[in-house]
Amino acid sequence: MKVYIRTFGCQMNERDSEFIAGLFMEKGYELIDSPEEADIVLFNTCSVREHAEERAISNMGHLMKQYKNKIYGMVGCAAQALKGKLFERLPKLGLVCGTGEIAKLPELVEKIVDSSGGLNLRYLEEARKSKILACENIDGDIPELRSRYRENNKRAYVSIMRGCDNFCSYCIVPYVRGRERSRKIEYILNEIKGLGKRGIKDITLLGQNVNSYRPDFVNLLGEINKIQGVEKINFLTSHPKDANIELFKAIQDSDKIIKHLHLPLQSGSDRILKLMNRGYTREKYLNLIGEARNIIQGLHLTTDIIVGFPTETEEDFNDTLNLMKDTKFGMAYIFKYSPRTGTEAAKLADDVPADVKGKRHKILLDLQREIHKRKIYEKTRCHCVN
């Protein structure tokens, strides 16, 4: 049987899809890169913003109209967030599987295939229940983080942790990916040693907040740095409240670690940062990046910004704008706020009108483009994956 997997969202999801692909291939399925010929169509979804979620649902709806006799499955964050509601939106959907259950996917698909009603069965009691189960550990490792199939023979993502405990008020990740769990250091090092032996020299460590890796992220970096065969080390994402001088020194002192930090700012206004529950102020953020730039030669600093968070005034927005003008990030990903059901911010009125969000979004995009065009953002080019 042939499986098609499409990924929406972040690098965490890309790694999950690669893992899922490996599981199916081990069971003898063929992986294909277009949905027409597939028997099984899986979408590994993102729910961090409304737009991403809607795009996945509408794309799957189109495919379902075009091709009838396939098993369709929604997997990952949006599946976890929307649960049974997805069956109402997509009546032909065969499977919903949450983020903590992806290791069971081939088993669930086999059950659908074996079911007497044929491929179009709206099966699912079991998957509906199982998708909410907590992640279980096998041999102390987190099942869906285990290394298997690798798409690329030059570089690889390595998950070092899963979930998030920060509960930023706008963010759905803690609800869909669960509590923070660090993977044991020996599993991570063994995986990377294995990659090194296969000639994979470029490693990106993944976690929602790598700086809160337990017991010690800087120590983990030091150990990875010693592994023979590894030449480039990158990591995503850092939270400004947990990044520190020890980390900056470790980056500067290693000739393998890429001189790149992704430090999401989200807003330049103290009032909004507090409402977002970010755990730092504007001043603290500015001091932090000042230290990072002092310590790390040729640092490539990137960020995420949300415009139009509930109650954001012109004054709050100008705080963000001015901070961006002064800081001159190498790259800034700018998002319009969208409420996510279940989060704290979703309890507030989404009161910044769409046209105001659009205007603020454009102002920041234009500013960032200008900074990029004039190359006034950094001293050296960075070779990170982003």
Residues found near ligand 5AD in the complex (CB under 6 A): 48-49, 170-171, 264, 266, 304, 306, 335, 337-338, 340
Alpha-carbon span 78 to 84, nearest angstrom: 11
* Nearest-approach distance from CB 334 to ligand 5AD, in angstroms: 8
Alpha-carbon span 106 to 27, nearest angstrom: 8
Q: Which of 3, 23, 48, 71 is close enough to bind ligand SF4 by CB under 6 A? A: 48
Q: Is 94 in the site for ligand SF4 (CB under 6 A)?
A: no
Give 113's Cβ-side CA count (13 Å radius): 13
Residues 6+ apart with CB under 8 A from 125: none
Place of tokens 């990924």: 7
Please check whether residue 139 is in contact with residue 107, taking contact to mean a CB–CB distance below 8 angstroms. Answer: no
* Nearest-approach distance from CB 139 to ligand SF4, in angstroms: 25
* Nearest-approach distance from CB 279 to ligand SF4, in angstroms: 19
- Output 72 or 170, the one with its CB closest to ligand 5AD: 170
- Output 52 or 75, the one with its CB closest to ligand 5AD: 52
Stretch that binds ligand SF4, among 41-49, 282-290, 296-304, 363-371 (CB under 6 A): 41-49
* Nearest-approach distance from CB 163 to ligand SF4, in angstroms: 9
Binding at 361: pick from ligand 5AD, ligand SF4, none (beta carbon under 5-8 Å per type): none
* Nearest-approach distance from CB 236 to ligand 5AD, in angstroms: 10
Binding at 304: pick from ligand 5AD, ligand SF4, none (beta carbon under 5-8 Å per type): ligand 5AD
- Output 99 or 327, the one with its CB closest to ligand SF4: 99
Binding at 13: pick from ligand 5AD, ligand SF4, none (beta carbon under 5-8 Å per type): ligand SF4
Q: Is 323 in the site for ligand SF4 (CB under 6 A)?
A: no
* Nearest-approach distance from CB 268 to ligand SF4, in angstroms: 22
Stretch that binds ligand SF4, among 43-51, 89-97, 182-190, 248-256 (CB under 6 A): 43-51
Binding at 9: pick from ligand 5AD, ligand SF4, none (beta carbon under 5-8 Å per type): ligand SF4
Total number of residues binding ligand SF4 (CB under 6 A)? 12
Q: Is 262 in the site for ligand SF4 (CB under 6 A)?
A: no
* Nearest-approach distance from CB 73 to ligand SF4, in angstroms: 16
Q: 12-31: which residues touch ligand SF4 (CB under 6 A)?
A: 12-13
Q: Is 177 in the site for ligand SF4 (CB under 6 A)?
A: yes
Binding at 35: pick from ligand 5AD, ligand SF4, none (beta carbon under 5-8 Å per type): none
* Nearest-approach distance from CB 264 to ligand 5AD, in angstroms: 4
Binding at 46: pick from ligand SF4, ligand 5AD, none (beta carbon under 5-8 Å per type): ligand SF4
Please check whether residue 219 is in contact with residue 184, taking contact to mean a CB–CB distance below 8 angstroms. Answer: no
Phi and psi (nearest 5°) for 25? Answer: -65, -40
Alpha-carbon span 149 to 27, nearest angstrom: 12
Secondary structure string (H, E, C) spanning the chain: CEEEEEECCCHHHHHHHHHHHHHHHHCCCEEECCCCCCCEEEEEECCCCHHHHHHHHHHHHHHHHHCCCCEEEEEEHHHHHHCCHHHHHCCCCCEEECHHHHHHHHHHHHHHHHCCCCCCCCCCHHHHHHCCCCCCCECCECHHHCCCCCCCCCEEEEECEECCCCCCCCCCHHHHHCCCEECCHHHHHHHHHHHHHCCCCEEEEECCCHHHCCCCHHHHHHHHHCCCCCCEEEEECCCCCCCCHHHHHHHHHCCCECCEEECCCECCCHHHHHHCCCCCCHHHHHHHHHHHHHHCCCCEEEEEEEECCCCCCHHHHHHHHHHHHHHCCCEEEEEECCCCCCCCHHHCCCCCCHHHHHHHHHHHHHHHHHHHHCCCCCCCCCCCCC
- Output 112 or 160, the one with its CB closest to ligand SF4: 160
- Output 46 or 102, the one with its CB closest to ligand SF4: 46
Residues at the site binding ligand SF4, with contacts judged by CB under 6 A: 9-10, 12-13, 46-48, 77, 172-173, 176-177
